[in-house]
Structures are given as C-alpha cells and as structure tokens.
C-alpha cells in the first residue's frame, strides 16, 4: 500500500497529543459532574429530517450509505451523522421524556461531523463537550446564568495546563430582536447575520450589507451598528442600550424583557466569575433556534481562532406538539481547543507513554524476573512496561529516554558471590539506587504523565 496521506479536516494526534486531549476531556467531565450534570451518549446517526430541523445546513450533513446499496434512497428514511449534540439531545429528550427527571442536567462529550471546508481550528470531524439544562414546559431564567458560569469554571480549570484566559461574550436575542423591530427592521435573522461579520469586515462593509441585503435605511444601519458597539462587564451596558433605544424610539416590550434578563446575567456573573463574562451586543449566533441568551467564548490572545464555546437558550427545539422542553446549553469545541494548545505549543505532556518505569531485561532467559518486577509495581498502581529486547543496557535506557519514561529498573541477580539487589535509575538525574519492587514508589508527580504549560 502506498503511503496514506492525511485526510484534511479529520485530525489525529500523536500519542503525546492524545494525552493532552484526554486530560482536557477528563477535566471537563470532572467539572460537569461536580455541578451535577449526568453524562449521556447518543448514537452517531439521526434521521435526516431531524438533523435538518436546524435550518439550511443540509449540505453540511454527511449522509450514510452502504456500498452494496441500490439507489433506493428514500429521502425520509435517510440517515446522517449528527453535526452537533444539541439536536440529537433534543430528540433524546422527546424520546425518553417519560423516563427522565426535569429539569434535566446532562453533559455529552462526543464527536460530531460537518461537511465544511477545513481550516485552522475548523474540522470535519471534531469533539464537542456539551452541557444543557432542559425543563418540562418551563425553564427558569437563572439557568441561563448558571450554564455559562459552569463553562467558565470548566475552562478556568484548564488554565493550570496552559490554556489562556477565556472571555465569555453574551447577548440576548430578545434585546436584538426587540431593538431591530423597534427601529422598523423585520429581517432579524438577516441583520444578525451581517452584524456577526463586524469583527471580520468592519462597520463600513456591514453597513453596506445591511442596506443591500436587509433593506435597511442608512439611519437604521447606523442604529444597528451603534447597538453592536455596546459592550461591557457591568450592568451599565443595560442603561446604555435603553438610552440608545429611547433615542430611536425603539423601546419595545420584548426589548425590556431581554434587557432585564441580560442585566440579571451580568450582575450574577460579575459576582461569581468576575471579568470572565462580558455583555457584547454584537454577538449574534447564526443558529435560528436560540430565543434568549446567546453565548460565544474566545481565548484571550487567540480571538482569530473564533469561538471555542458557544450556545444559548432555545425554547422550542424539543417539542412534540403537546409538550415543549425549553433548554439552555453551551458546547465546547474540544478539538479546536486542543489543536490550538498543541499547534501554538502552549502545553506539553511530561511523556508520550503512561509508563513511569521501564524494567530492563538482562537476557531473554531472565525475562521472567523482569516481568515479576513489573507485576509487583503494577500491583501498587505504578504504570510499568518491560523492555522489548535484552539489548545493551545503553539501548534500553535510550528506549526509555525517547519516550520520556523517567525510571529504568535493573533486576538484580543471585550469583555465587551473593545476591545483588535490584536497582532503579532516574535517567534524568542519573541517580541510581537499590530498590525493592514490593515497596519502591516513584515521586507522585512522576507516577502518571502530566500536562503542563510549555516554555
């Protein structure tokens, strides 16, 4: 077989990169569980019509087909790989509503697939880590405050391995919609989509687009940009927005509701996670099912990477017509996060394999002695491997060194001139001492690979 080439958009890490990724996954899971979220996993595929409820994303969905299959692709029976975890979760909630306890707090960490063109930090197969809280019929607003704060904590827990600080930008759909309608713009979706480009193409181009694409007048466009320019981490932004709305005669009931919610979120966040949550009135979010708070998260210093954690409140995503289950949740782009941690060399694993000890093999005849040492160490939860061949000790040490294994264990012997004790060598310092496999302990920091800031 010719050498395979990498498939663009389907990231695969080397073993030390995977150690970093697993550490991130463990940390997220731990934080989610610390906050009482229960884990679930849903199947990788959903009926196509379910997946398409989200909007015009059909071209991004990977369809499933069998090689042997005839061309009998009945549209309403086609299966597609899920492209996020929110839609499958909504389906899961409806399917199991009778067996679930509400409000339901769940986390879900799985791969998702999108048929996009890959780029730095954008993949076709990637891992998302979601938390959502779903109520039966109603979902109190305070959950819209809690959800981003849990994520702030989860991402904050990763700062010790070298993740830059995060900034969670929040807005509220009711504020945006209330304002736009208040000034006479009804194409709320369209306006949001253009406003979303503000950072990328600048206010002048956005203004143009608002006029040409959304039928706005120059004044309306100017008002939209004025709203989008408002941001801040204290409740002063609420007054600012209201003042702007009043000056345009755009105060609506919807706007007031949204402002009250946004204000409550900012107030709570400034107390529980100071400096992390920032109101930013230009945050739009493309997805059309969000109805209240919307969130987007950037890594400070890596804003160009885009959002690493986004979400919002949705009122009708899970609805069977009779019952609705409003929810709020956020999703961390784990692969985006990990790929940046690795490519920007922000973190490193202390070694590329779990082994803390390599047990040297004196000769193939005496391999059993080395296996016995390994067994004794493993019995006390010390990760160990035995050297692959009875090569010169120099080579066996090199084997350990290349993998970052800190200790090499030399089995002793019993000869005519008496017993020679086992010895263990710290190959970083060169220190070598007598040791007993029944009692020897590595330093706690060497027991398992760790992930640490680099440089």
Partner RNA sequence: GUGGGCGUAGCUCAGCUGGUAGAGCAUCGCGUUGUGGUCGCGAGGGCCGCGGGUUCAAGUCCCGUCGCUCACCCCA
Residue with smaller CB distance to RNA, 2 or 101: 2
For 123, the token pair is 């993949």
Comparing CB distances to RNA, the nearer of 197 and 450 is 197
Closest CB to RNA among residues 60, 256: 60
SS3 string, 207-250, reads HHHHHHHHCCCHHHHHHHHHHHCCEECCCHHHHHHHHHHHHCCC
Q: How far apart are CA 315 and CA 296, in angstroms?
A: 19
Please check if 85 is assigned to a binding site. yes
Is 15 or 286 the residue whose CB approaches RNA more closely? 286
* Cα–Cα distance, 427 to 51 (Å, whole number): 54
Is 132 among the annotated ligand-binding positions? Answer: yes
For residue 129, the minimal CB distance to RNA (Å) is 9
Work out how close the CB of 314 gets to RNA at its nearest, in angstroms, rounded to a whole number. 11
Q: Where are the alpha helices (DSSP H) in 100-235?
A: 142-157, 173-182, 188-195, 198-214, 218-228
Residue 181 annotated as part of some ligand binding site: no
**Whole-angstrom Cα distance, residue 148 to residue 170?**
9
285 marked as part of a ligand binding site: yes
- Shortest Å distance, C-beta 278 to RNA: 16
Strand partners, 439: none
- 293 vs 307 by CB, closer to RNA: 307
Nearest distance in Å: CB 81, RNA = 13
Q: How far is CA 363 from CA 57, 310, 357, 388, 411, in A?
A: 62, 57, 18, 11, 11
- Of 255 and 328, CB closest to RNA: 328
Report DSSP state, residue 60. Answer: G
Q: Nearest distance from residue 235's CB to RNA, in Å?
A: 26
Separation CA 315–CA 358 (nearest Å): 56
Does residue 392 have a known ligand-binding role? no
**Stretch (H or E) spanning 399:** helix 393-403
Measured from the CB of residue 148, what is the shortest distance to RNA in angstroms? 13
Q: Alpha-carbon distance 255 to 193, whole Å?
A: 19
107 is in an annotated binding site: no
180 annotated binding-site participant: no
Write out the residues near RNA by the rule CB under 7 A.
Answer: 3, 5-9, 55, 57, 60, 84, 114, 116-124, 126, 128, 193, 196-197, 200-201, 285-287, 296-297, 306-310, 331-333, 335-336, 362-363, 390-398, 401-402, 408, 410, 423, 425, 427-428, 430, 432
- Extract the annotated binding site for L-histidine: 84-86, 114, 128, 132, 285, 289-290
């Amino acid at each position: 077989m010719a050498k395979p080439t990498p498939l663009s958009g389907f990231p695969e890490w080397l073993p030390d990169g995977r150690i970093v990724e697993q550490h991130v996954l463990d940390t997220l899971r731990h934080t989610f569980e610390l906050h009482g979220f229960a884990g679930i996993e849903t199947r990788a595929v959903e009926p196509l019509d379910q997946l398409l409820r989200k909007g015009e994303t059909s071209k991004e969905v990977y369809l499933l087909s069998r090689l042997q299959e005839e061309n009998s692709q009945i549209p309403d029976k086609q299966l597609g790989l899920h492209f996020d975890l929110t839609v499958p979760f909504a389906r899961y909630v409806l399917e199991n509503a009778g067996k679930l306890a509400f409000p339901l707090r769940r986390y879900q960490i799985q791969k998702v697939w999108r048929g996009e063109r890959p780029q730095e930090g954008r993949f076709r197969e990637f891992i998302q880590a979601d938390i959502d809280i779903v109520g039966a019929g109603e979902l109190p607003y305070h959950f819209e405050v809690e959800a981003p704060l849990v994520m702030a904590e989860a991402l904050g827990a990763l700062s010790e391995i070298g993740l830059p600080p995060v900034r969670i930008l929040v807005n509220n759909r009711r504020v945006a919609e209330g304002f736009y309608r208040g000034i006479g713009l009804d194409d709320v979706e369209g306006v949001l989509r253009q406003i979303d480009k503000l950072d990328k193409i600048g206010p002048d181009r956005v203004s143009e687009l608002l006029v040409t694409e959304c039928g706005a007048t120059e004044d309306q466009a100017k008002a939209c940009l004025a709203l989008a320019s408002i941001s801040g981490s204290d409740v002063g932004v609420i007054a600012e927005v209201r003042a702007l709305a009043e000056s345009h005669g755009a105060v609506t009931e919807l706007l007031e509701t949204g402002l009250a919610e946004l204000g409550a979120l900012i107030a709570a966040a400034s107390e529980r996670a100071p400096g992390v949550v920032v109101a930013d009135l230009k945050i739009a979010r493309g997805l059309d099912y969000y109805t209240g708070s919307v969130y987007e998260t950037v890594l400070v210093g890596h804003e160009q990477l885009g959002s690493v954690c986004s979400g919002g409140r949705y009122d009708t995503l899970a609805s069977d017509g009779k019952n609705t289950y409003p929810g709020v949740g956020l999703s961390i782009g784990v692969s985006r996060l990990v790929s940046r941690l690795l490519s920007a060399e922000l973190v490193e694993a202390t070694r590329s394999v779990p082994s803390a000890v390599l047990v040297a093999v004196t000769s193939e005849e005496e391999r059993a002695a080395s296996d016995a040492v390994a067994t004794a160490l493993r019995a006390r939860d010390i990760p160990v491997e035995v050297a692959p061949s009875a090569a010169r000790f120099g080579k066996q040490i090199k084997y350990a060194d290349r993998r970052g294994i800190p200790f090499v264990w030399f089995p002793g012997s019993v000869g005519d001139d008496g017993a020679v004790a086992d010895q263990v060598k710290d190959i970083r310092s060169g220190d070598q001492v007598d040791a007993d496999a029944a009692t020897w302990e590595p330093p706690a920091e060497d027991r398992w690979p760790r992930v640490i800031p680099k440089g």
